[in-house]
Amino acid sequence: MPVRKYILGLLMLLFSINAFALFDSCRVLFPNNHAPQTSIEGRDLCFDEFAIYYSPVHKKPIYVVEKLNRQTLQSKPLERTNKFYEEARLRKSERAFLEDYINSGYDRGHNAPAADMRTKNGMEQSFSLANMMPQASENNRGVWARSVEKPSRQYVMRSYGDIYIYTGSFGNAGVIGIHKIVIPSYLFKLIYNSKSKKKLVFLVKNTNEISKPELITYEELIKLTKINFNLD
């Protein structure tokens, strides 16, 4: 075999192996083990109860996925640890740091909520800064907690089978900290019922003034985020 063809064949093999390496240790958290498709550069991070596709440029999640069901949430909630930490699996140049949020005017907003966690490891891991986005404080503690996260858990409790919840953000409203973490313009939460195939999408502008979430279609979310969630 000519050397050039051998090298090309080897490169194609390596590419095909790498193509299936994304979330290779936590694909069970995705519907039918299929992660979303997007051209946005990111890092895949697997945790015990959720998975993160993380932006090394914006230094926040592009999206986070959780796999929940009624049986999961029926177990007793854990006490919040509130022990935020920097994600050591990321290069220092890609990380958010604790100091970035100090006096920034923004909360460390969870993507996978601590209130969803039902194991000690899951609770601790939910405080990784890789799971955080700069979120307007009143938004985080008000409309997002009251009208997005709480109804999402209520939906899971009323449903049968597995419910997949994608949370993320997009847009650029500036940066915080010396490491320049991007403040997203909008936050979203996509709920997918694997049994009924129903999709519910909340969209929230990342401001303190917003009073209620907007409901948009799945197709609109794909256009806004440039992410194909592979739910069709």
The residue ranges of every structural domain in the chain are 27-228
Q: What is the mean pLDDT of each successive set of 10 residues along the chain, which is 232 residues long?
A: 50 40 91 96 97 98 97 90 97 98 98 96 98 98 98 96 97 98 98 96 98 98 97 88
- Beta-bridge partner residues of 54: 43, 61
Residue 123's nearest CA partner among 26, 46, 48 is 48
pLDDT of residue 2: 56
> Residue 211 corresponds to which tokens in the numbers above?
């009073």
What is the rounded distance in angstroms from the CA atom of residue 232 to the CA atom of residue 220? 14
CB 64 within 8 A of CB 35: no
Q: What is the structure's pLDDT at 104?
A: 98
Determine contact, residues 180/186, Cβ cutoff 8 Å: no
In whole angstroms, what is the distance from residue 98 CA to residue 106 CA? 12
Is residue 101 within 8 Å of residue 134, measured between CB atoms?
yes
Residue 18 has what pLDDT?
40
Encode pLDDT of 118-154 as tens digits: 999 999 999 999 999 999 999 999 999 999 999 999 9
Contact 96, 129 (CB under 8 A): yes
**How would CATH label the architecture of 27-228?**
3-Layer(aba) Sandwich (3.40)
DSSP per residue, 7-52? HHHHHHHHHHHHHT-TTTT-GGGSGGG---EESS--EEEE-SSEEE
Side-chain half-sphere CA neighbours of 76 within 13 A: 3
